[in-house]
């Protein structure tokens, strides 16, 4: 018999982790607020994510991250450090929400899959931003920054409120990213 509680926590963890690939701190902030409001229970040892200091820190980091992606030289620096940070944030989120009552091997395997999702989404956005920079001289990068911010917020909220849909949207984004990459990669000179 399927334990839907575990299925939902896994979907929440994977969805929020993937959202870290768009913006590292937005999903952490959304998780902190949702946990503080009592909507998302956190695993033992991760209740600090729902604390007021965590909400303040994640809010501040989110503001700086959002603004940084609209400044041309800062967005490249953020892309360089965002991939490992996205994976770390993905691990933190996944382990904080995926049920600690499940088999530890299964739990940590799912956490690593979720973190891989964060890394995959982040790598996809880096490639798409690089293609945008090459095609437009960086003029379209603010539009990509806005898209990534919206995607992080929407995916994180959907992961919390409609966890199964979040997984579908993640798969759709990855398929779209692959299609766009193939389209633009073939147009670049060898």
Dump pLDDT digits (tens) for 126-180. Answer: 888 888 888 888 788 888 889 999 999 999 999 999 988 888 887 887 787 778 7
Residue 1 has pLDDT above 80, yes or no: no
Instruction: Tell me how far CA of residue 99 lies from CA of 9, 34, 36, 73, 160, in angstroms.
Output: 7, 17, 18, 40, 15
Round to whole Å and give the CA distance between 100 and 111: 11
**58 vs 103: which has the higher pLDDT:** 58
pLDDT of residue 164: 84
CA angle 97, 79, 118 (to 5 degrees): 25
C-alpha torsion angle, residues 162, 167, 169, 173 (rounded to 10): 160
**Residue 189, pLDDT above cutoff 70:** no
- Residue 2 pLDDT: 76
- Separation of alpha carbons 9 and 12, rounded Å: 5
Give the per-residue pLDDT at 158.
Answer: 94
Look up the pTM and report it.
Answer: 0.85
Ranges of each domain in the chain: 4-185
Segment of 2-6, 33-37, 72-76, 177-181 carrying the highest mean pLDDT: 33-37
Give the mean pLDDT of 84-106.
92
8-55 residue pLDDT tens: 888 899 999 999 999 999 999 999 999 999 999 999 999 999 999 999
Residue range 109-126: average pLDDT? Answer: 86
């Amino acid at each position: 018999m399927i334990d839907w509680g575990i299925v939902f926590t896994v979907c929440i963890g994977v969805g929020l982790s993937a959202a870290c690939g768009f913006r590292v701190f937005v999903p952490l902030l959304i998780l902190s607020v949702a946990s503080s409001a009592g909507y998302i229970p956190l695993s033992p040892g991760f209740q600090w994510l729902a604390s007021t200091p965590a909400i303040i820190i994640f809010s501040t980091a989110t503001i700086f991250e959002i603004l940084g992606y609209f400044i041309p030289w800062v967005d490249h620096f953020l892309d360089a450090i965002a991939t490992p940070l996205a994976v770390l944030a993905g691990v933190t989120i996944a382990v904080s929400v995926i049920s600690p009552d499940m088999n530890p091997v299964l739990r940590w395997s799912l956490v690593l899959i979720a973190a891989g999702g964060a890394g995959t989404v982040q790598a996809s956005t880096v490639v798409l931003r690089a293609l945008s920079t090459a095609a437009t001289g960086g003029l379209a990068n603010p539009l990509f920054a806005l898209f990534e911010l919206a995607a992080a917020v929407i995916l994180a909220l959907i992961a919390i409120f409609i966890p199964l849909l979040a997984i579908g949207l993640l798969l759709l984004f990855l398929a779209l990213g692959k299609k766009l990459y193939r389209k633009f990669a073939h147009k670049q000179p060898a």
